[in-house]
């Protein structure tokens, strides 16, 4: 900006020197009039551009909200008013005074006489041009009444009637015919193409033209109206030379006026030079005021802007910014106080950041611990809304609890039973333990709840475990002991009962009458039948209680299923086997696995037979954890109240069954380290999926 001010000052000094020289030497000024005017205009434009640019920059900074822009705008408006108000008054008075002074230096009457002479010459030429235009309209009307072929022949007659020097008939391709007064040679004869185009467009052309050799020529062009739309549009051109005396008089007046204008140029140029000089002075004052306002505002706002930037950096968390102390006044004292405050904030922030990192590490460690726990952990806030949950909780409850932050568990449809129990228990006691069996999955959970105080609030902590497998194992053990006791206590009295019944038949059969003997025989048969049934049940209990440990070996599961199917030749039309190709062998006891497939196939066949129709599909496939054996039937399926307890002894849907079939199957599969799953199909029927380990994996693991 300082360079701009220096350049403007130099230009102003140059203009003042030129102004002084112009007032003392008019001829010298007149010879350099164009240069001075162009220089004044250029400098005025530069000054105006600088003022506009500076003001636009200031207001743009104000619109962008830049710090200090408001103060700059206020200074700018104030200094601009201080420069414009007195400058405008001086400028107006000076321009008026100079105009009146310069005008008084010249004789106004001479200029008026010259102007009147020029106007008189122009009036005579206008009269002659109007007369020629009237003749052109008349000739155009006469030609319009003639056919196009006869128009060129009539051109000479019309020229003589109009008494003009030359007449031309112009068509689309050029001059069709032309006639001129004898001894008269008009140059040029044909009007310029621009004049012809103007006559066609505006339907008239009239002008006063100068001849190359001197003199004036009047030219008028009028269109000839065609008789039909198919005829070409033609033009008639009339040329009349201005009398030599009138032309010489007009040129003489114009020459004298031109000379006077050249003499009067110094008056106009001098006035314009003064006006430009005053304008430049006013604009220089305005630019100086604007620049001074900007410089002053920047000097005042620069320290404040530095503090504002540092404050913004502190607000963003950057406590390393320090403001430079530029002076020893109050602003310097404020800057030093700000730097001291920033240093204290940086120290406090580092301490808080360290505490936060330690808290995050502790929280991450706690989250890792919760994630590694097999127990489900749920944290509820004082309003019983979900705060935190680990992955084991979602897995046990078969629901993604992490998708329910801030929700109440007793109002969530999928875990409403669980949530209601937790809510009710915390309403009764601060610490509690309860067992819950989920109706949807049949899982048995053991829940423990307690209050945990942290900070200014107390949360509710719930820890629970899935003890379904443990309870099933306990039940299986208990049923094994019961089965062993039943087998021992029931089978011993059965043999004396059988012997006593046979003795009664032998001893009293011959002594009784026929009706009594028949009644005795029926009673003995009933006793023997029921005793044999009890012996069969005792044998099943003995098998369940004393199931031998499996003798593991590599077993071809496809071949084993085929052997079992040979027992069901009577039902092969509704049984279909879909073996997998290249199925690897499983590790198992062939006899026990044979019993498993036989029991499951028998249950499926009984279900289909009871329904009266349907089919059974057995299939094998390679699974990620081993080999899958699936048995699917379209029978009645498992009742909802039994499917969760189907593997417990004495749970059956058959009227004469003991319920030990699936219990033995489950026990055999567990001994083989496999899994079994019962599923009711949506379309009807049941599906049993068994996964057995591969022979190679088990042997490697056992080794």
Residues 115-149: tens digit of each pLDDT = 777 777 778 888 888 888 898 888 888 888 888 88
What angle is formed at CA 297 by the lines to CA 292 and CA 299, rounded to 5 degrees? 95
Tell me: pLDDT of 585 over 90. yes
CA–CA distance, 188 with 192 (Å, rounded to integer): 9
86 phi/psi in degrees, rounded to 5: -70, -35
Residue 53 vs residue 601, higher pLDDT: 601
pTM of the model: 0.38
Mean pLDDT in residue range 508-534: 78
At 221, the pLDDT band (50, 70, 90 cuts) reads confident
pLDDT in tens, 390-408: 888 887 877 777 777 777 7
Q: Among 256-265, 549-558, 692-701, which stretch is predicted with the lowest mean pLDDT? A: 256-265
SS3 461: strand
Count Cβ atoms below 10 Å from residue 634 Cβ, excluding itself: 20
DSSP strand pairing (575-578 vs 616-623): parallel
Tell which residue, 613, 618, 614, has the closest CA to residue 576: 618
What angle is formed at CA 663 by the lines to CA 662 and CA 666, rounded to 5 degrees? 85
Sign of CA pseudo-dihedral 635, 638, 639, 640: negative
CA–CA distance, 20 with 264 (Å, rounded to integer): 19
Q: What average pLDDT does the structure give for the chain? A: 76
Q: Among 54-63, 225-234, 258-267, which stretch is predicted with the lowest mean pLDDT? A: 258-267
Most confident of 232-241, 271-280, 394-403, 529-538: 232-241
CA–CA distance, 431 with 567 (Å, rounded to integer): 59
**DSSP secondary structure, 195-256, as one string:** HHHHHHHHS-EEEEEE-TTS-EEEEEEEEEPPSSTTSPPEEEEEEEEPPHHHHHHHHHHHHH
Sign of CA pseudo-dihedral 148, 150, 152, 158: negative
Q: DSSP letter at 556?
A: -
DSSP strand pairing (432-437 vs 444-454): antiparallel
Q: Among 17-21, 63-67, 160-164, 569-573, which stretch is predicted with the lowest mean pLDDT? A: 17-21
Residue 308 vs residue 257, higher pLDDT: 308
Q: What percent of the chain has pLDDT over 90?
A: 6
The C-alpha torsion from 294 through 296 and 297 to 302, rounded to 10°, is 110
pLDDT for the residue 698: 46
Mean pLDDT in residue range 201-226: 81
Tell me: pLDDT of 703 over 50. no
pLDDT for the residue 699: 43
CA–CA distance, 367 with 369 (Å, rounded to integer): 5
CA–CA distance, 308 with 375 (Å, rounded to integer): 55
Most confident of 417-431, 439-453, 656-670: 417-431
Residue 42: which residues within 8 A CB-CB, separation 6 or more?
Answer: none
| Percentages (nearest 5) of helix, strand, coil residues in the chain | 60, 15, 25
CA–CA distance, 165 with 566 (Å, rounded to integer): 136
* Helices assigned H by DSSP within 327-408: 330-372, 391-397
Mean pLDDT in residue range 668-697: 86
pLDDT for the residue 5: 56
pLDDT in tens, 614-641: 889 999 999 887 999 999 998 888 777 6
Question: What is the CB-side half-sphere exposure of residue 697 using CA atoms within 13 A?
Answer: 14
Tell which residue, 452, 537, 414, has the closest CA to residue 486: 537
Tell me: pLDDT of 378 over 60. yes
Residue 141 vs residue 78, higher pLDDT: 141
CA–CA distance, 671 with 214 (Å, rounded to integer): 135
Q: What percent of the chain has pLDDT over 70?
A: 73
pLDDT for the residue 545: 54
233 phi/psi in degrees, rounded to 5: -85, 125
Residue 156 vs residue 13, higher pLDDT: 156
Residue 314: which residues within 8 A CB-CB, separation 6 or more?
Answer: 321, 342, 345
Q: DSSP letter at 405?
A: T
- Between the two ends of the chain, the Cα-to-Cα distance in Å is 91
pLDDT for the residue 213: 66
Q: DSSP letter at 686?
A: E
pLDDT for the residue 364: 75
pLDDT for the residue 532: 76
Q: DSSP letter at 385?
A: B
CA–CA distance, 603 with 519 (Å, rounded to integer): 38
CA–CA distance, 274 with 377 (Å, rounded to integer): 95
pLDDT in tens, 537-548: 666 666 655 566
Most confident of 59-63, 280-284, 388-392, 465-469: 388-392
Helix (H) or strand (E) holding 378: strand 376-380
């Amino acid at each position: 900006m300082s360079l701009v001010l220096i350049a403007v000052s130099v230009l102003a000094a140059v203009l003042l020197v030129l102004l002084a020289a112009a007032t003392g030497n008019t001829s010298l000024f007149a010879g350099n009039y164009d240069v001075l005017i162009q220089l004044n205009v250029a400098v005025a434009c530069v000054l105006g551009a600088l003022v506009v640019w500076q003001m636009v920059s200031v207001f743009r900074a104000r619109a962008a909200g830049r710090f200090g822009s408001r103060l700059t705008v206020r200074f700018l408006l104030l200094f601009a008013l201080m420069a414009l108000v007195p400058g405008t008054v001086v400028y107006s008075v000076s321009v008026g005074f100079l105009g009146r002074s310069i005008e008084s230096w010249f004789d106004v009457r001479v200029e008026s006489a010259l102007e009147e002479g020029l106007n008189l010459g122009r009036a005579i030429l206008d009269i002659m041009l109007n007369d020629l235009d009237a003749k052109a309209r008349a000739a155009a009307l006469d030609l319009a009444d003639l056919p196009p072929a006869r128009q060129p022949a009539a051109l000479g007659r019309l020229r003589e009637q109009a008494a003009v020097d030359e007449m031309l008939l112009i068509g689309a391709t050029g001059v069709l015919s032309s006639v001129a007064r004898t001894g008269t040679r008009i140059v040029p004869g044909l009007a310029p193409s621009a004049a012809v185009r103007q006559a066609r467009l505006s339907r008239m052309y009239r002008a006063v033209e100068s001849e190359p050799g001197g003199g004036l020529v009047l030219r008028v062009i009028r269109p000839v109206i065609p008789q039909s739309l198919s005829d070409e549009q033609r033009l008639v051109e009339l040329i009349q030379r201005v009398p030599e005396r009138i032309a010489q008089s007009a040129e003489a007046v114009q020459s004298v006026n031109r000379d006077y204008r050249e003499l009067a140029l110094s008056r106009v140029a001098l006035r314009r030079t003064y006006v430009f000089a005053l304008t430049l002075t006013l604009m220089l004052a305005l630019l100086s005021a604007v620049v001074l306002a900007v410089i002053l505002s920047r000097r005042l706002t620069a320290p404040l802007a530095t503090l504002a930037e540092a404050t913004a950096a502190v607000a963003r968390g950057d406590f390393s910014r320090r403001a430079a102390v530029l002076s020893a006044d109050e602003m310097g004292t404020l800057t030093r106080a700000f730097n001291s405050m920033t240093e204290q904030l940086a120290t406090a922030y580092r301490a808080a950041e360290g505490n936060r990192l330690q808290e995050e590490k502790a929280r991450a460690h706690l989250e890792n611990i919760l994630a590694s726990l097999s127990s489900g952990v749920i944290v509820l806030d004082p309003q019983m809304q979900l705060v935190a949950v680990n992955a084991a909780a979602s897995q046990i409850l078969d629901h993604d609890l992490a998708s329910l932050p801030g929700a109440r568990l007793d109002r969530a449809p999928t875990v409403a039973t669980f949530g209601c129990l937790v809510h009710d228990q915390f309403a009764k006691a601060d610490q509690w333990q309860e067992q819950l069996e989920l109706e949807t999955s049949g899982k048995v959970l053991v829940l423990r709840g307690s209050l945990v105080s942290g900070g200014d609030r107390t949360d509710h902590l719930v820890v629970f475990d899935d003890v379904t497998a443990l309870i099933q194992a306990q039940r299986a053990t208990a049923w094994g002991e019961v089965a062993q006791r039943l087998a021992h206590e029931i089978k011993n009295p059965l043999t004396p009962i059988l012997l006593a019944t046979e003795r009664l038949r032998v001893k009293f059969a011959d002594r009784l009458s026929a009706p009594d003997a028949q009644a005795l025989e029926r009673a003995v048969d009933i006793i023997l039948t029921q005793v044999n049934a009890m012996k069969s049940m005792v044998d099943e209990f003995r098998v369940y209680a004393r199931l031998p440990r499996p003798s593991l070996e590599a077993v071809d599961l496809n071949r084993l299923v085929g052997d079992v199917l040979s027992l069901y030749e009577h039902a092969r039309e509704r049984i279909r086997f879909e073996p997998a190709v290249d199925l690897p062998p499983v590790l198992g006891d062939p006899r026990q696995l044979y019993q498993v497939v036989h029991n499951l196939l028998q249950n499926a066949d009984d279900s289909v037979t009871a329904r009266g129709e349907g089919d059974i599909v057995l299939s094998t496939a390679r699974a990620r954890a081993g080999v899958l054996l699936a048995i699917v039937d379209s029978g009645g399926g498992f009742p909802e109240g039994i499917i969760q307890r189907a593997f417990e002894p004495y749970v059956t849907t058959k009227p004469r069954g003991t319920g030990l079939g699936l219990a033995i199957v489950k026990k055999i599969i567990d001994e083989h380290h496999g899994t079994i799953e019962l599923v009711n199909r949506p379309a009807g029927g049941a599906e049993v999926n068994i996964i057995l380990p591969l022979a190679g994996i088990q042997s490697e693991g056992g080794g």
